[in-house]
Amino acid sequence: MYLPTGKLGKVIWEEKEFQIQTEFSHSPRPHLTTTVFLGGEVVHKVDNLWLGGVETDEDQRALDRQLVLQHRETTEYLDAKVRKKVESKRVFEIDDLKRLALHPSALGYLTANGDGVLQMEGELSDPLKEIAFLFSELVIFLGFLEKSTKLGRFYKGEGSLEPGRLFLGQVPEIYVGISVAADAQSGSIKEEFFKLLPGGEE
C-alpha cells in the first residue's frame, strides 16, 4: 500500500521553535495531517480527508502534491502570524520616556531592573524620591507574582502613589514608570505612555 514521504519544517520566533510535520495515514480513513509542535506539545493541527485514490501512479502523484501543498500552506500561515507579531512589536526607546516626562503635569520618570534596583542617570526630584522607593518595592512584588503564581507576565498598570499617580509598564529587561501630580489631568500622558510599551495599546 502506497505511503508518501512525510514533510518536516520549522518556524522560529523569539527563540521559540515551532516544528511542523505533515504525514498521510490510511486509517481510520485516508487523510493528511499537519501538526505544529512547540516544546513537544501540539499547538495547531490541520486534518483533511483524502478523497482520491492511491492505487495508480497518477493517484500517488496527486497525493504527493497535496501533501506538499498542505505542508506549505500551514507553514506559510504560521510564518505570516509570526511576521505580523514581529512587525507590530514596538521597540522601546528610553528617549521617548524622557520626552514624555517633560510634560508640565509629570513629576518625572523611573526605571528599575527586575530586582527593583533603580536605573537612573541623574538626581531624583524631591517629589519623585518619595515615589521611587515604592516603585522599587512594587517592581520586586510584581517579579515575585510572575515567578510564584499563574498570573503571568505583567505588562502595564497604574495606581496612586503619594504625592501623585504612577503609570507602570514592563519592557525587555526593565520596568519603567512615569509619575504625574495627583491633581493633574493625566489622561493624555497615560495614553502616550502606554503607546511607548511593546505592542502599544494591545
Based on the fold, state whether residues 150 and 62 are members of the same structural domain.
no
**176 in any annotated domain:** yes
Based on the fold, state whether residues 171 and 189 are members of the same structural domain.
yes
pLDDT at 85: 62
Based on the fold, state whether residues 72 and 98 are members of the same structural domain.
no
pLDDT at 29: 93
CA separation for the pair 176, 139 (Å, rounded): 9
pLDDT at 181: 82
Based on the fold, state whether residues 58 and 75 are members of the same structural domain.
yes
Of 60, 88, 116, which residue sits at a domain end?
88
**50 in any annotated domain:** yes
pLDDT at 13: 79
Based on the fold, state whether residues 103 and 179 are members of the same structural domain.
yes
Of 62, 88, 114, which residue sits at a domain end?
88
Q: What is the DSSP letter of 73?
A: H
CATH number, domain of 159, equals 3.30.450.30
pLDDT at 202: 41
Based on the fold, state whether residues 99 and 42 are members of the same structural domain.
no
**12 in any annotated domain:** yes
Helix (H, G, I), strand (E, B) or coil at 200: coil
What are phi and psi for residue 198, nearest 5 degrees?
-55, 130
What are phi and psi for residue 120, nearest 5 degrees?
-110, 145
Based on the fold, state whether residues 98 and 191 are members of the same structural domain.
yes
**202 in any annotated domain:** no
Q: In which domain, by residue range, is 29 found?
A: 7-88
Give pLDDT tens digits along the chain (202 positions).
899 999 999 988 777 899 999 999 999 999 999 999 998 899 899 999 999 999 999 999 999 999 999 999 999 988 887 776 655 555 677 888 888 888 888 888 999 998 888 887 667 777 788 788 888 899 999 988 888 888 887 888 888 877 678 899 888 778 998 988 877 677 788 888 888 887 554 4
Of 54, 88, 122, which residue sits at a domain end?
88
pLDDT at 56: 95
**201 in any annotated domain:** no
Based on the fold, state whether residues 98 and 183 are members of the same structural domain.
yes
**2 in any annotated domain:** no
Based on the fold, state whether residues 79 and 102 are members of the same structural domain.
no
**1 in any annotated domain:** no
Based on the fold, state whether residues 175 and 118 are members of the same structural domain.
yes
The secondary structure of 102-156 as a DSSP string is TSTTEEEEEEEETT--B--SSPPPHHHHHHHHHHHHHHHHHHHHHHHSSS----E
Neighbour-count burial for 78-90, b at 16+ CB within 10 Å, e otherwise: bbeebeeeeeeee
Q: What is the CA radius of gyration of the chain?
A: 26
| Number of structural domains found in the chain | 2
